[in-house]
Structure 1
């Protein structure tokens, strides 16, 4: 099994902090998510996280006018120059200070960065090779406090900068003679946003106290004059002017006319305030937090701390809409290029909304878990992921689009466990509110609620392979409750554990339930023989997680002493163990008084998951690392660092020198409560961070891990969100038993000679996707059965994997389905002996076929409804045929023309565009 897993996507969180941006075509939203950036494609309904990360949380993103480049700046002042075309980092830069905002000029030649109380203008990186992509041009001084916002004029001649000192400064991008800088006052609070009017120097400024000032300039942008140069440039220009004056005097002497008088020197640029408007007319004081302005349609959008937003038309300040999008403050607003869609970001709840204001409808409405995610589960076909969080919500995510399409809010407390049934249409969840609930994915409802005789908190949940038995472990009563899915009745209560139940898992092949507990035991319960205990496995430490191998022949248990032990469930014999303390490598927290090395002694793996073939196991816990171990050899195969975000706690191995003072660690000193001897002591047992602390940093941890049933990817719920790692082999050359006789030329020569079997075998040995596709699609459909039966058994699994991946993107559905059918019919008996090894490939194939089946079934339903509608309309109108006698309109049925039109509406099955959007 390959382990070239790479970061693929980030789900579960859609917006954290920073500013939103629309792409130049207006179809995608660029949203900062922690220390990563996600692009939401609104037209194709997909989300994609860029494969790059900053050291701290992203503070601001600047997008070039052509949409090719982006400057991503984090909270520490580190910047990444990113190409959005090839999705790669082009340049690293450090601004030596916290940056508040960055903005490109409309012509794309320069960009301005505000940090502290200054604004710096840089030459924008071009498409040519440069030694340094960021070249500082000018530094502008003026504001006395931190700068907050930037806006450019349409011609890129000037830009405005707002500040917390209640002033707005207009600077010239060039050395203008009549405009060097201009300061505008008139506000009583910090400036939130400033906007130039289209093709003008007129300005709108908005302050935090919800006030809008309209400023008029007495000079047009064309009236700006360049300042006369000094030094050797001035001497050269003066010499040229003297020569021109001498020539002009000679011409005027010959013609006998007087020379024209020089043009009078015009004065400096001046601004005057035309009007001042207030948003809070009713008297309720509400802070203005974000604003955006579209210059072409003159639309002003303002967001407030209460979640309300206003739409005004300027300069008349006429109200268009006033609505509420959230209970928290609106942190960022963006308008697309056409002015139809408005994006809102709310950092308090992690919400991202795209609203079409003309039709008053949502284009996108996504929200992640308010608190951290605790558990996840893959659907049997790998298309969906369900997550449960501490906020009591259960969300279902589509792995193809990356969007959450349903949220269940029936739980009143934190969700502790989620799982799918074997059919994939029922989700079972456990919660700390004392209930276990079953949700239907057909009707999107909670159809079953399981409770215990006396109130108890459930810590885990499991469903057997048939989907008929539901079990949940109690955290306070140390019991296991068994219910029937059909009737909802409590079947039995299993007692015997002497500590909280930490994990449950059913044997995939038998009705055996394994339960792990803090009493240092794992018990195996027989669901058929009166739920009695068949075996009790004694451990050396508290059990934290338990899982069966996919074939049910092995059991893995994670314990508190950082060990993973493997057991034979039939004979209750330990088969091996892995020591994982050195692989966890936990970091040091800010408030820790011990080193990271000693802190790692108390850490352990809290979640386990077998790979699809059962040869490897995935482990994670209170660390930023996820480890993959080889079960048989008991060695570490690969270790993944899930995050490099230093804005999270427990990331650094050593103390930060910048926070060390003569009095000790600054993080320990700057506290206002719970101090003993000048040092803050965190609350005992707190793992997520002290929320009452003045400086709260969430701690990095992995709460749940799951392999996809296809084996192509795995997912992890972390403090960052739901991370997806997949096998991306697009740029990987990985041949199989290659020798010098296998070349693309010989493969094509074999195809021309109609030796299809030899061509396919050579193509799989070379393992080039385009050659594989060419070789398979060259086989005539009537010869597929002969060619598939002549393939060696070694290549059957590779052909199945290629067919599964091709079905996801190809339109030749019938051709590849015939290949799949003939291959399975020819080698079905031989494949039974290797069912465990071929399981990932078969599930990958099932996932692809299932997706196409759902798409085509929706299309067929839509066609059927349209035909029924057309028939009903034709009968209602009483279509008259030419052969019918007069007066028979009411009895007439559909005409031949109607049948032809219905036939066209039905379409041909072979012409269905399955890759396009479905109705």
Structure 2
């Protein structure tokens, strides 16, 4: 069993906060997700999350003009310089203050960072490796309050900075004689955005009250005159004379800088967007300079599209009931991206066709449960918002959402055929959804209202069981009829988990009454065995072969049982492996608080050799079942914006009255809040602030064994097995080398070459060996291949079928391997099941793509045939009209 799982993707979370950016070609959208960065490829219809993370939540992202570099800044002001080409971190820097915005110059040579009330100009990092990639060039002072936005001119000569003090400042990025700085007022609220016109110093400023001001400049960009660094100005000469005690006199002939006219602005117009009401403030804006399109978003979820400078309304639409946090426009101006942090919603709108290119939203509250489909293609999740979502593992997008439940979803699962999704909820219903028609076709209920906390379905998909947490009973239904078959009673505490044996109709139920009961579904649902535990049972899981049960209890222990004999086979003391963090408001240390913690999620690997365990911690532990030892720990998140991440609290945040998190900031200030309302902190008097606590609620291994997924506070995390970077030889000796493989291929010893390549276990070499074999010899080679190497070759073929363009060639290999070695592989069907699932997943992916292409071609051909028929009919009618016209004009035919 390999444990080299790496972070692969983040599903279920699309936008949290920060600014949205399109790549220079305009086909990819970059969105900050917590402390990670997600890339949405809109042309290819897939999403990926970069394998890098900041310490806290990302607040702003700066993208270089060529799209190769990016600057990520988190809440604390720590910055990462990343390469979007290699997807790696190049450098780190700390601004020591929260940063409002970061933006590269259009020529890519510099970038501006605004923090506090200053704007700092840095030299952009070069393509080569540097000791310090953040070199400060200038610092601009001017605003009296925090800065909010900035923009560059097209030639990178000037910048505009907006502020909360209702003013906008124009600074020269270089030393100009006629422009040092210029301040623009005229607004009655904080500046949200400011934009330069294309190739001009003309400026648009937009404030939060929905006011747009247009400013015309009397100077062109080409009229900006650089200052001579060697020539001193009259003011500097006067200052030097004063320092020497000399008398300062006026000069008869003023210097060159005296005769150059200063840059001046004039307000050309004012427009008011906010006509919806007093409480609807403008929250975000974006401007496309070439098309002169202005997009504004409001706190009511409405956005407007205007054409400037005429300010004519093109489109207006409401996309949600939450505030629009960020807006981005791609280079062509066709697509507009909207981010709503309140809902975690991300939209890409094509305004010309008035259609959605992308519309994704995660669970509004926490994810609670997940389950893989039998082929590993899909993942279903349930959340506290009562929604059931189905995700495509290849694209990373949700393609269907079921909203039939009225309360939190507690458990979800697939049936064995993968076409039906079952979900249990606290609203007292278990619902079955079909993935063929995307509807709820069956609803299971109990005689009296109960809250279902767990769910399971047997291997045939005919029997559905759900446990109740308030009536201490397990309910059994028939999938075919929807009738309640039986109610299993006997537990004396809430049912925490139910699980079916994968190979037999035996149900295991775990309860808080410190027992595990095994029920025989065939023999009148009688109890065959009762396993007594030392503490409350939290979760139970069957090994894939059904010959072992793993149980996690409240005392932090994992015990293994033989379901046939009812005897305990071993145990793992895993309480200290959780390595809990300390919350901000905890009065005890992390070491003492871990005594009452335990694993709440268990899952066996596809081959049954490993066990995944997770709980209220940022770590997921993987144990070797046979040795009963900890094999590896995976860190789910390093985001310190979440609670319970640190083992020791910062002493600087501790006062004589307790933690600063408990103290009302406005209580001791003059004019502040003297008494805070119950449950309210920091003197806000209305909204409740809280830090989400990091925890893992559910774990599942993929049926292919190549990945596993976890639902956590951050979203749906997927960890995959990246075998390409690990050298893992098998049965190696001195004679097995890459040169020996190529020599065997040269003389035509195909079997020997393939066996040596499999023993070296290097994918490029094995690919070279397989592609050298003539297609006519594949059947003979598959029959002569040793049984030990058949499984390894199937694993390689599953990966190659998904990646390679030689689809028919590798399909021939897979077909001949299965046909020639089918009888020999029956004895090891359990261990080969993950390999077969992986092969099925690759084939299903190609089948889906090809079927869509065939459907598209069929529709196009039908359209072409219909169009040609219409043109043929029209041509015939025209010919008949022409013939009738000729006959009427013939003089011989006239009477």
Same fold (TM over 0.5): yes
Structure-2 separation of matches of 1:460 and 1:671: 43
Partners of 1:619 and 1:560 lie apart in 2 by 13
Look up the match of 1:256.
Answer: none
Structure 1 residues 296-334: Cα deviation after superposition (integer angstroms, max 9, x where no partner): 000000000000000011111111111111110000000
The C-alpha deviation readout for 1:501-545, integer Å capped at 9, x for no partner, is 110100000000111111111111111111111111111111110
In the alignment, does 2:46 pair up with 1:43? no
Cα deviation for residue 632 of structure 1 reads 1.2
Aligned partner of 1:5 in structure 2 is 5
Give the conservation status (yes or no) of the 8 Å contact 1:120–1:140.
Answer: yes
Report deviation, 1:729: 2.3
Determine helix, strand or coil for the equivalent of 2:577.
Answer: helix
Q: Deviations over 1:538-581 (max 9, x none)?
A: 11111110110000000111110001111000111011111111
Equivalent position to 1:472, from 466, 472, 492: 466
Q: Distance in 1 between matches of 2:851 and 2:437?
A: 17
Correspondence for 2:740 among 746, 764, 783: 746
* Residues in 1 aligned to 2:70 and 2:20: alpha-carbon distance in whole angstroms: 12
Q: Residues 53-98 of structure 1, C-alpha deviation per residue, up to 9 Å, x if partnerless?
A: 1110001000000100000000011100000000000001001111
Change (3 A) 1:230 1:523: same
The corresponding residue for 2:81 is 81
Residue matched to 1:620? 614
Looking at structure 2, the residues matched to 44 and 130 of structure 1 have their Cα atoms a distance apart, in angstroms, of: 35
What is the aligned partner in structure 2 of residue 634 from structure 1?
A: 628
Query: Are residue 437 (structure 1) and residue 428 (structure 2) matched?
Result: no
Q: Compared with structure 1, are the counterparts of its residues 463 and 740 closer, same or farther at alpha carbon in structure 2 (3 Å cutoff)?
A: same
Q: Would you say 1:320 and 2:314 are equivalent positions? A: yes
Whether the aligned pair in 2 keeps the contact of 1:591 and 1:682 (CA below 8 Å) is no
2:280 matched to which residue of 1? 286
Please state if 1:762 is matched with 2:753.
no
1:661: Cα distance to partner?
A: 2.9
Aligned to 1:557: 551
Gaps of 5+ in 2: 235-254, 668-673, 881-895
Q: What residue in structure 2 maps to residue 906 of structure 1? A: none
By how many angstroms is 1:820 displaced?
A: 1.6
The within-5 A match list for 1:391-790 is: 391-670=385-664, 694-790=688-784
Q: Are 2:349 and 1:343 equivalent residues in the alignment?
A: no
CA distance, structure 1, for counterparts of residue 457 and residue 678 of structure 2: 38
User: Secondary structure at the residue paired with 1:667?
Assistant: helix
Over residues 694-747 of structure 1, what are the superposed CA-to-partner deviations in whole Å (9 max), with x where a residue is unaligned?
Answer: 431000000000000000000000000000000112333222233332332322
CA deviations on 1:566-608 (whole Å, 9 max, x unpaired) are: 1000111011111111100110001111111111111110000
Give the whole-Å Cα distance in 1 for the aligned partners of 2:831 and 2:275.
70
d(CA) in 2 for partners of 1:145, 1:285: 23
Partner of 1:915: none
Tell me, in whole angstroms, the C-alpha distance in 1 between the residues paired with 2:364 and 2:154: 40
Whether contact under 8 Å (2:57, 2:74) holds in the other structure is: yes
CA RMSD, aligned part only? 2.4
| Residue aligning to 1:196 | 196
**Of 773, 798, 805, which residue of structure 1 is paired with 2:799?**
805
| 8 Å contact kept, 2:415–2:457 | yes
Matching of residues 58-69 of structure 1 within 5 Å: 58-69=58-69
Q: CA deviation at 1:226?
A: 1.6
Report matched runs for 1:210-249 at 5 Å. Answer: 210-230=210-230
Matching residue of 1:112: 112
SS of match in other structure, 2:541: strand
Change (3 A) 1:625 1:692: farther
Provide closer, same or farther for how the CA distance between residues 220 and 232 of structure 1 changes in structure 2, counting only shifts above 3 A: closer
Q: CA deviation at 1:376?
A: 0.2
1:636/1:233 CA distance change after superposition, 3 Å: farther
1:135-159 CA deviation, whole Å, 9 max, x = no partner?
A: 0111111111110001000010100
Q: Which residue does the alignment assign to 1:137? A: 137
Task: Flag the 1:353–1:831 CA change in 2: closer, same or farther, 3 A.
Answer: same
- Work out whether residues 677 and 685 of structure 2, in 8 Å CA contact, stay in contact via their aligned partners in 1: no
Determine if contact 1:669/1:680 at 8 Å carries over to the other structure. Answer: no
Could you tell me how far apart the structure 2 residues matched to 1:859 and 1:301 are?
Answer: 36
SS in 2 for 1:2: coil
Q: Is the 8 A contact 2:35 2:53 kept in 1?
A: yes
Q: Distance in 2 between matches of 1:225 and 1:875?
A: 68
Residue 871 of structure 1, CA deviation: 6.1
Per the alignment, do residues 609 and 691 of structure 1 end up closer, same or farther by CA in structure 2, a change over 3 Å counting? farther
- Matched with 1:368 is 362
Assess if the C-alpha contact under 8 Å between 1:668 and 1:680 holds in 2. no
Q: Secondary structure at the match of 1:229?
A: coil
- Contact 1:668 1:679 (8 Å CA) reproduced: no
Do 1:671 and 1:680's aligned partners in 2 also have CA atoms closer than 8 Å? no
Q: 1:142 to 1:263 in 2, by over 3 A?
A: closer
TM normalised by structure 2 equals: 0.92
Q: Distance in 2 between matches of 1:406 and 1:562?
A: 37
> How far apart are residue 766 of structure 1 and its match?
2.0
- The residue aligned with 1:249 is none
Measured after TM superposition, the shift of residue 284 of structure 1 is: 4.7
What is the CA–CA distance in structure 2 between the aligned matches of 1:586 and 1:868, rounded to whole Å? 62
8 A Cα contact 2:551 2:560, kept in partner: yes
Equivalent residue for 2:351? 357
Cα drift, residue 860 of structure 1 = 4.0
User: Is the CA contact (8 Å cut-off) linking 1:671 and 1:693 kept in structure 2?
Assistant: no
* 1:829, distance to aligned residue in structure 2 (A): 2.1
Please state whether the residue corresponding to 1:581 is helix, strand or coil: coil
Q: 1:107 to 1:784 in 2, by over 3 A?
A: same
Corresponding residue of 1:842: 836
Return 5+ residue gaps in structure 1 as ranges: 235-260, 684-689, 888-919
Q: Is the contact between residue 274 and residue 282 of structure 2 (CA under 8 Å) also seen in structure 1?
A: no
Deviations 1:407-457, CA, capped at 9 Å, x for gaps: 111111110000000000100000011110000001111111111111111
Seen in structure 2, the aligned counterparts of structure 1 residues 880 and 531 have a Cα distance that, compared at 3 Å, is: same
CA contact (8 A) 2:304 2:316 kept: yes
Structure 2 residue matching 1:749: 3-state secondary structure:
helix
Kept in 2, the 8 Å contact 1:591–1:681? The answer is no
Q: Distance in 2 between matches of 1:273 and 1:320?
A: 24
CA distance in 1, matches of 2:309, 2:461: 63
Q: Which residue of 1 aligns with 2:174?
A: 174
Shift of 1:362: 0.5
CA distance in 1, matches of 2:854, 2:708: 34
Deviates most, 274-283 or 460-469: 274-283
Normalised TM-score (structure 1): 0.89
